[in-house]
Amino acid sequence: MKAKQYGMTIDIDRCTGCGACMVACAVENNVPPVPEGANDRKGITWIRVFPINNGAEWPGRQSAFVPVLCQQCGEHTPCVSVCPQQAVQVDPATGIVGQMPERCLGCRYCMAACPYHARYFNWWDPSWPAGMEKALNPDVAPRMRGVVEKCNFCHGRWHAAKQRAAARGQQEIDPADYVPACVEACPTGAIEFGDLNDSQSTVARTAGEDHSFRLLEKLGTDPKIHYRSKRDWVRRVAAAPGKEEAHG
Amino acid sequence: MTHRGALLFWAGMLAALGAGWAGFPRLIYRRQPQPVAFSHKIHAENAGMKCEDCHEVRTDGTFAGIPRLEKCASCHSAAMGTTAAEKQFIDRYVTPQREVQWAVYARQPENVYFSHAAHVKLAHLECSSCHRDHGQADTLRLYEEDRISGYSRDIWRDMKMDDCVACHRQRGIENSCLDCHK
Amino acid sequence: MKATRRDLFKFAAGGAAGLALTPMPWRLVTDTALWSENWPGIPRPARGEIRTRFTHCALCPAGCPVKARCVGDQPVSLRGLAGRPLCAFGLTGHHLPYHANRVSRGDPEGAAQAVRAALSRRGANESVAVLDLRPGRTASWTYRRAMGALPGGLYLAAQSGLPAIDLRAAKTILSFGVPVLDGWGTPANVLAARAQFRLIEAEAVESHTAMLADEWLPLREGSQDALASGIRHILTAGAAGIPSGEAAERSGLPEATIVAVAQELARGDAVVLAREETDAVTELNRMLGGRAIVRRREAPAPFHWTRTAAPVTRFDAVPDQSIRALLIDESVSDGYFPWDAVERKLAPEATVVVFASSRAGYGAHAGFVLPAAVYPEIADDIPAAIDSTAATFRLAVPLVEAPATVVNPTRFVAELAGVDAGDALRERANAIEQSGRGTVLSYTDSRSTPLRDIKADAFWKILHEGGCWEDEARDQSPGEPRASAPAVVAMTWEMRMARGPLSPLVTKLYQESNLRVRT
The full DSSP string for B11-38 is HHHHHHHHIIIIIHHHHHEEEE--SS--
CB-closest option in B11, B20, B151 to C24: B20
3 state SS for C191-244: HHHHHHCEEEEECCCCCHHHHHCCEEECCCCCCHHHHHHHHHHHHCCCCCCCCH
Q: pLDDT of B96-112, one tens digit each?
A: 999 999 998 888 889 99
Q: Which residues of B touch A140 (CB under 8 A)?
A: 182
Instruction: Report CB contact under 8 Å: C27, B28.
Output: yes
User: Quick check: is B45 in a domain?
Assistant: no
Q: Quick one: DSSP state of residue A36?
A: T
Alpha-carbon gap, residue C231 to B161, rounded angstroms: 73
User: Quick check: is B124 in a domain?
Assistant: no
Instruction: Report CB contact under 8 Å: A45, C511.
Output: no
CB-closest option in C48, C88, C216 to A20: C88
User: So what's the pLDDT on residue C242?
Assistant: 92
Instruction: Find all residues with CB under 8 Å of B169, minimum gap 6, and list them.
Output: none
Instruction: Report the percent of chain A where pLDDT is more than 70.
Output: 96
User: So what's the pLDDT on residue A71?
Assistant: 96
Name which of B2, B3, B7, B17 to mutate to probe chain C: the one with the most chain C Cβ atoms within 10 A of its Cβ: B17
User: So what's the pLDDT on residue C37?
Assistant: 77
- Quick one: CA dihedral B110, B114, B117, B120, positive or negative? negative
User: So what's the pLDDT on residue C154?
Assistant: 95
User: Quick check: is B56 in a domain?
Assistant: no
pLDDT < 50 regions, chain C: 483-487
Q: Which of C291, C313, C337 is the last residue of a domain?
A: C291
Instruction: Find all residues with CB under 8 Å of B51, minimum gap 6, and list them.
Output: B127, B135
CB pairs under 8 A between A and B: 71
Q: Which residues of C touch A28 (CB under 8 A)?
A: 77
Question: Residue B23 is part of which domain span?
Answer: 1-30
pLDDT band at A246 (very low <50, low <70, confident <90, very high): very low
Instruction: Report CB contact under 8 Å: A158, B59.
Output: no
User: Quick check: is C486 in a domain?
Assistant: no
Q: Which residues of A207-243 are buried (b: 16+ CB within 10 A; e: fewer)?
A: beeebbebbbeeeebebbbbbbbeeeebbebbeeeeb
pLDDT band at A53 (very low <50, low <70, confident <90, very high): very high
User: So what's the pLDDT on residue C253?
Assistant: 94
User: Quick check: is C139 in a domain?
Assistant: no
Structural contact between residues A86 and A103, judged by C-beta atoms closer than 8 angstroms:
yes
Could you tell me the CATH number of the domain that includes residue C220? 3.40.228.10
- Cα-Cα end-to-end distance for chain B: 55
Instruction: Report CB contact under 8 Å: C98, A50.
Output: no
Alpha-carbon gap, residue C158 to C202, rounded angstroms: 24
Q: What are phi and psi of C246, to 5 degrees?
A: -65, -40
User: Quick check: is C260 in a domain?
Assistant: yes
Structural contact between residues C414 and C90, judged by C-beta atoms closer than 8 angstroms:
no
The residues with which C78 forms a beta bridge, in sequence order, are C68
Q: Which of C291, C324, C339 is the last residue of a domain?
A: C291
Instruction: Report CB contact under 8 Å: B178, A158.
Output: yes
User: Quick check: is C207 in a domain?
Assistant: yes
User: So what's the pLDDT on residue B132?
Assistant: 84
User: So what's the pLDDT on residue C158?
Assistant: 67
Instruction: Find all residues with CB under 8 Å of B48, minimum gap 6, and list them.
Output: none
Summarize the confidence of residues B77-83 as an average pLDDT.
87
Q: Of A18-32, B58-72, C158-172, C212-226, which range is least confident?
A: C158-172
Q: Which residue has the higher pLDDT, C38 or A236?
A: A236
The HSE-up count of residue C501 (CA atoms within 13 Å, CB side) is: 28
Secondary structure (DSSP) of C454-480: S-HHHHHHHHHHHEEEEPPP--PPBPP
Q: Which residues of A touch B64 (CB under 8 A)?
A: none
User: Quick check: is B67 in a domain?
Assistant: no
Q: pLDDT of C263-292, one tens digit each?
A: 999 998 999 998 877 888 888 988 888 788
User: Quick check: is C303 in a domain?
Assistant: no
Nearest CA in chain B to A30: B182
Structural contact between residues C201 and C210, judged by C-beta atoms closer than 8 angstroms:
yes
Q: Which residues of B touch C14 (CB under 8 A)?
A: 8-16
User: Quick check: is B173 in a domain?
Assistant: no
According to DSSP, the β-strands at A88-90 and C50-56 are: unpaired
- Cα-Cα end-to-end distance for chain A: 44
The residues with which C164 forms a beta bridge, in sequence order, are C294
Q: Please say if the pLDDT value at position B29 is more than 70.
A: yes
User: Quick check: is B21 in a domain?
Assistant: yes
User: Quick check: is C339 in a domain?
Assistant: no
According to DSSP, the β-strands at C198-202 and C172-176 are: parallel
Number of domains in chain C: 2
Q: Which of C335, C332, C396 lies closest to C143 in space, CA to CA?
A: C332
Nearest CA in chain B to C10: B9
Instruction: Report CB contact under 8 Å: C98, A187.
Output: no
Instruction: Report CB contact under 8 Å: C10, B8.
Output: yes
| C272 sits in which H/E element | strand C270-274
User: So what's the pLDDT on residue C480?
Assistant: 64
Nearest CA in chain C to B147: C31
ipTM of model: 0.93
Instruction: Report CB contact under 8 Å: B148, C21.
Output: no
User: Quick check: is B14 in a domain?
Assistant: yes
| C347 sits in which H/E element | strand C346-356
Number of domains in chain B: 1
Question: Residue C21 is part of which domain span?
Answer: 5-37
CA distances from C19 to B27, B145, B153, C32, C441 (A): 15, 22, 20, 18, 71
Instruction: Report CB contact under 8 Å: B182, A167.
Output: no
Q: Would the pTM of this model clear 0.80, i.e. be above it? A: yes
Ordered structural domains, chain A, with CATH: 6-247 (3.30.70.20)
User: Quick check: is C252 in a domain?
Assistant: yes
